[in-house]
């Protein structure tokens, strides 16, 4: 096979639509892979799309038809087949080679392969790809085929294109066009390996690899016999492929195979797999990949309480501590392996063991799944349908089937991938969202995909993984899809309408989505928002707040808990703190329900641009207070104080293999450190177990609720602090600790020593220096306790005392003074 990569000498031209006069018909250098927005930005023809209010000024880009052109040289090498391989075109493209149309595409989420032998010439060739404007195309198709309901303002559901590229309640509206994955010429003879599905199983101590291989033949009528070889762990198995056959199956057994485990359950051994096709005229026709031996099942069988959603790997239950994943950049080609590694590192460092790839995004690159394989991070993959009705007629269904088949095949080697999910919120929308069913009356809306097409494709191509028709889903057609006693739930009534204490109104078996908003780090925010003076309701600030009534919901959310902020600095700290407190409260409650509850997946880990959102890590990679709260509440071993039958109880959770035994100390403590009452009890928690310990009566009722807390400690498991009243009611000391900030080697150590109760102490490190990172956060101290915050990334010429400043070193108590 000969390969010609087509990554050089591209230009892009606006050929139709409302492009400015200085841009229309002007060739602009283009990067491939890339996006027209980035090409315009590099050429100095648009301002940075994420900055200020530029989003609205650049809406014309999605209304314009764009032409990409390049030339390449080719010589006749005597091969039988010549093909153009486009791994990803975004989205409605017409491809012309030397004036001959060779193909059309309608789907960003799949690859295409076109025979170009009739158009290819020896010497210089001219390749042109015309992209139809995505926004008007989406509207036109929606009108032509029947408008179906969707969230947000563009009918993204009429195209097989990343839904969130049209904007979301956390996402910028940058409807992109371009060649977003590699494109190349391949010339070959005799046969080639078209695809490999290396499915695994485990039988006792033996790993079983079933390699399913699809073969393309250059001339199907006269194709001769071939031999297929599959090698793993030094063992080789072969299969003869008869003349004319286009597929083969090879089984290889690996004795004493090491099992692949999710993180905190074991190691992640990966086995190299080589698939080789051998025959007359063939040379170096091979596929290489990796697999991990493990089994997966999800228990959804009805029980006396409803139906669970319990994930088992190698027949051991895994308590899920996860986050939802969205595309990590609004311009997808900006996400490389290093950026994936940083974000997945954020998940791992926060004690997460699962990422859910959300259905309004993309099937991520192999780098994402490779890194999850290596790190032991489970992957739940949505098929790409979200919050909308989708046509099931042939104009869309054919692309949906081709896309799903390719995605299932491509991702089949990855042991981290354990769940396929049919859609995000479409079934619950049909069942329960006001007006939704009326809008799809008489129209198809996607049910056939979720209940027939997609499970059928998985049954055919990859029956080794679990399939859920949707999320949320109760695994019954006769109960609410979002019933907390069944399957998976999404909890959004809290963010939208209620105080976060209402998380305790839910007793979910498994939470697949829930979350609370907060702004990004101060530097991330102010690098993009330039209102003067900076204001929560400033023009540019609201461009970077996509949620409906988002700032009003932030205010409604913090007012029961925190004093009303007096300044924009305090608004920023209060909303970040309240986001962290809300999610910490929810997960503590959910985890306390184990084993009835088997997991939670917070919305969301990451951002795709600088925005006020539900993310734990902002677009610039700065970890928000929420991230530190997640790391603490997702610790495998956790102590939490929860109401039980009208009383308080301590729940000890031990999500490790080793049992714990020790003394549990419960104290009622005054803010000045005085111990009002204390009780000690022995306890044992088995591996992967939980224990509930009632709180003694003398500890449950404070003498002065405004000045006392309940503290429960279990050495080796953790500590929990229960505040009898909210911050807004507490008599917190506005200056509860002494501070020492000093340089230690290449870092700055900020030592705080509590004189009185110090609640949720945090270093907003980027406010000390834009590159600074702090190792810990949301630290609560009792009088006499000290904590060292280690701040890295601080240049040598920065005064370390800036990290002790009042806008950098914050705590919950400083909001009382600020707000009074």
What would the mean pLDDT of 316-331 be, rounded to a whole number? 98
Encoded tokens for 177:
């066009």
Spatial separation of the C-alpha atoms in residues 128 and 144, rounded to whole Å: 28
Question: Residue 817: what pLDDT?
Answer: 60
- pLDDT tier, 220 (very low <50, low <70, confident <90, very high otherwise): low
Q: How far apart are CA 126 and CA 107, in angstroms?
A: 24
**CB 229: neighbour CB atoms within 10 A?**
16
Backbone dihedral angles phi then psi of residue 494, each to the nearest 5 degrees: -65, -55
Q: 637-725 has which CATH code? A: 2.60.40.10
DSSP 88-126: -EESSEEEEETTEEEEEE-BTTS-EEEE-TTT--SEEEE
The pLDDT tens digits of the residues spanning 33-74 come to 999 999 999 999 999 999 999 999 999 999 999 999 999 999
**CA dist., res. 61 & res. 522, Å (int):** 30
Q: Residue 816: pLDDT above 80?
A: no
| CB atoms closer than 10 angstroms to residue 548 | 10
Burial class (CB in 10 A: 0-12, 13-18, 19+), 700: middle
Angle at the Cα of 508 from the Cα atoms of 502 and 509, rounded to 5 degrees? 165
Is residue 820 predicted with pLDDT exceeding 90? no
Q: How far apart (Å, rounded) are the C-alpha atoms in residues 1 and 216?
A: 13
- Residue 818 predicted with pLDDT over 50: no
Q: Note the pLDDT tens digit of each residue in 612-626.
A: 999 999 999 999 999
Question: Is pLDDT above 90 for 219?
Answer: no
Q: Same fold for the domain at 637-725 and the one at 737-819?
A: yes
Neighbours of 425 (CB within 10 A): 26
- pLDDT in the model for residue 244: 87
Map out the domains of the chain as residue ranges. 2-186, 190-291, 306-633, 637-725, 737-819
What is the dotted CATH code of the domain comprising 2-186? 2.60.120.260
Closest CA to 719 of 636, 650, 626: 650
Q: Which CATH architecture has domain 737-819?
A: Sandwich (2.60)
What does the alpha-carbon distance between residue 442 and residue 6 come to, in Å, rounded to a whole number? 46
pLDDT at 223: 74
> What residues contact 686, with CB distance under 8 A and at least 6 apart?
654, 659
Say how far apart CA 348 and CA 352 lie, in whole Å: 5
Which two structure tokens, joined as six digits, stand for 325? 């994943």
Share of the chain above pLDDT 70, in %: 99
Closest CA to 609 of 179, 169, 180: 169
Cα 389 from chain centroid (whole Å): 22
Its pTM stands at 0.98
CA gyration radius for the chain? 29
Cα of 674 vs its chain's centroid, Å = 45
Q: What whole-number distance in Å separates Cα of residue 344 and Cα of residue 338?
A: 10
Tell me the C-alpha distance between 736 and 756, whole Å: 5
Write out pLDDT tens, residues 580-631: 999 999 999 999 999 999 999 999 999 999 999 999 999 999 999 999 999 9
What proportions of the chain, in percent to the nearest 5, are helix, strand and coil? 25, 35, 40
pLDDT digits (tens, 9 = 90+) for 345-387: 999 999 999 999 999 999 999 999 999 999 999 999 999 999 9
Mean pLDDT of 208-227: 89
Q: What is 306-633's CATH topology? A: TIM Barrel (3.20.20)
* Torsion, CA 322, CA 323, CA 325, CA 329, rounded to 10: -130
Pairing of the two strands 489-491 and 511-514:
parallel
Sheet harboring 112-115: ordered strands across?
Answer: 2-5, 183-188, 81-86, 112-115
Q: From 2.40.220.10, 2.60.40.10, 1.10.3720.10, 2.60.450.10, which CATH number describes the 190-291 domain? A: 2.60.40.10
Answer whether residue 501 shows pLDDT above 90. yes
Instruction: Check residue 221 and give its pLDDT.
Output: 62
What are the backbone dihedrals phi and psi of residue 162, each rounded to the nearest 5 degrees, phi first? Answer: -50, 115
């Amino acid at each position: 096979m000969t390969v010609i990569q087509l990554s050089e000498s591209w230009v892009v031209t606006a050929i139709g639509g409302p492009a400015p006069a200085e841009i229309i018909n002007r060739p602009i250098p283009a990067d491939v892979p890339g996006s027209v927005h980035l090409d315009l930005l590099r050429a100095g023809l648009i301002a940075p799309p994420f900055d200020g209010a530029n989003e609205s000024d650049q809406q014309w880009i999605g209304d314009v038809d764009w032409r990409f052109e390049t030339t390449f040289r080719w010589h006749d090498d005597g091969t039988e087949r010549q093909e153009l391989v486009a791994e990803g075109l975004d989205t409605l493209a017409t491809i012309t080679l030397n004036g001959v149309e060779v193909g059309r595409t309608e789907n960003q989420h799949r690859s295409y392969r076109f025979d170009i032998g009739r158009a290819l010439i020896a010497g210089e060739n001219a390749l042109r790809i015309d992209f139809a404007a995505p926004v008007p195309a989406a509207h036109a198709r929606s009108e032509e085929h029947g408008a179906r309901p969707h969230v947000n303002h563009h009918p993204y559901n009429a195209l097989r294109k990343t839904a969130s590229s049209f904007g979301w309640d956390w996402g910028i509206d940058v409807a992109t066009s371009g060649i977003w994955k590699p494109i190349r010429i391949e010339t070959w003879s005799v046969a080639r390996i078209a695809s490999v599905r290396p499915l695994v199983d485990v039988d006792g101590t033996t790993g079983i690899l079933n390699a399913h291989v699809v073969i393309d033949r250059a001339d199907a009528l006269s194709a001769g016999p071939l031999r297929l070889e599959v090698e793993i762990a030094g063992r080789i198995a072969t299969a003869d492929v008869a003349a004319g056959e286009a597929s083969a199956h090879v089984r290889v057994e690996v004795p004493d195979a090491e099992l692949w485990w999710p993180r905190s359950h074991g190691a992640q051994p990966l086995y190299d797999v080589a698939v080789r096709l051998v025959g007359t005229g063939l040379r170096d026709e091979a596929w290489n990949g990796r697999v991990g031996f493990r089994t997966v099942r999800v228990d959804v069988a009805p029980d006396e309480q409803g139906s669970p959603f319990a994930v088992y790997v190698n027949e051991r239950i895994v308590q899920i501590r996860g986050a939802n994943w969205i595309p990590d950049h609004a311009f997808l080609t900006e996400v490389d392996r290093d950026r994936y590694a940083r974000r997945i590192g954020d998940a791992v460092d926060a004690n997460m063991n699962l990422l859910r790839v959300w259905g309004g995004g993309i099937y991520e690159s192999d780098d994402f799944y490779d890194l999850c394989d290596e790190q032991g991070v489970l992957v739940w993959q949505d098929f790409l349908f979200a919050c909308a009705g989708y046509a099931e007629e042939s104009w869309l269904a054919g692309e949906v089937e081709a896309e799903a088949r390719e995605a299932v095949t491509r991702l089949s080697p990855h042991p981290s991938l354990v769940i396929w999910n049919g859609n995000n919120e479409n079934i619950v929308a049909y069942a329960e969202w006001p007006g939704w069913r009326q809008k799809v009356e008489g129209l198809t809306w996607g049910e056939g995909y979720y209940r027939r097409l997609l499970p059928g494709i998985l049954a055919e191509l990859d029956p080794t993984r679990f399939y859920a028709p949707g999320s949320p889903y109760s695994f019954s057609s006769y109960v609410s899809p979002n019933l907390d006693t069944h399957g998976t739930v999404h909890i959004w009534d809290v963010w939208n309408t209620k105080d976060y204490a209402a998380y305790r109104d839910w007793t979910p078996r498994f939470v697949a989505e829930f979350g609370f908003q907060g702004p990004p780090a101060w530097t991330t925010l102010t690098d993009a928002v330039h209102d003067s003076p900076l204001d929560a309701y400033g023009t540019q600030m609201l461009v970077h707040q996509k949620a409906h009534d988002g700032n009003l919901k932030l205010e409604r959310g913090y007012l029961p808990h925190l004093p009303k902020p007096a300044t924009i600095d305090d608004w920023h700290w209060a909303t970040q703190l309240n986001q962290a407190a809300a999610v910490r409260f929810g997960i503590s409650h959910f985890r306390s329900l184990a084993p009835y509850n088997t997991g939670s997946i917070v919305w969301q880990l990451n951002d795709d641009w600088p925005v006020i959102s539900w993310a734990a890590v902002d677009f610039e990679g700065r970890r928000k207070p929420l991230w530190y709260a997640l790391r603490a509440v997702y610790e495998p071993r956790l102590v939490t104080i929860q109401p039980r039958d009208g009383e308080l109880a301590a729940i000890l959770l031990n999500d490790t293999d080793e049992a714990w035994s020790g003394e549990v100390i419960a104290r009622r403590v005054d803010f000045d450190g005085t111990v009002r009452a204390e009780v000690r009890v022995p306890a044992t928690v088995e591996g992967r177990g939980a224990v509930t310990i009632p709180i003694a009566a003398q500890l449950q009722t404070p003498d002065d609720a405004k000045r006392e807390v309940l503290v429960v400690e279990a050495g080796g498991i953790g500590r929990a602090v229960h505040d009898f009243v909210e911050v807004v009611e507490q008599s917190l000391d506005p200056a509860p600790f002494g501070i020492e900030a000093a340089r230690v080697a290449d870092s700055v150590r900020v030592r705080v020593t509590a004189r009185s109760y110090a609640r949720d102490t945090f270093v907003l490190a980027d406010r000390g220096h834009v590159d600074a990172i702090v190792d810990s956060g949301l630290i609560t101290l009792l009088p006499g306790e000290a904590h060292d915050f280690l701040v890295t990334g601080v240049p040598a010429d920065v005064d370390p005392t800036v990290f002790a400043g009042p806008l950098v070193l914050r705590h919950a108590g400083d909001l009382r003074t600020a707000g009074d």
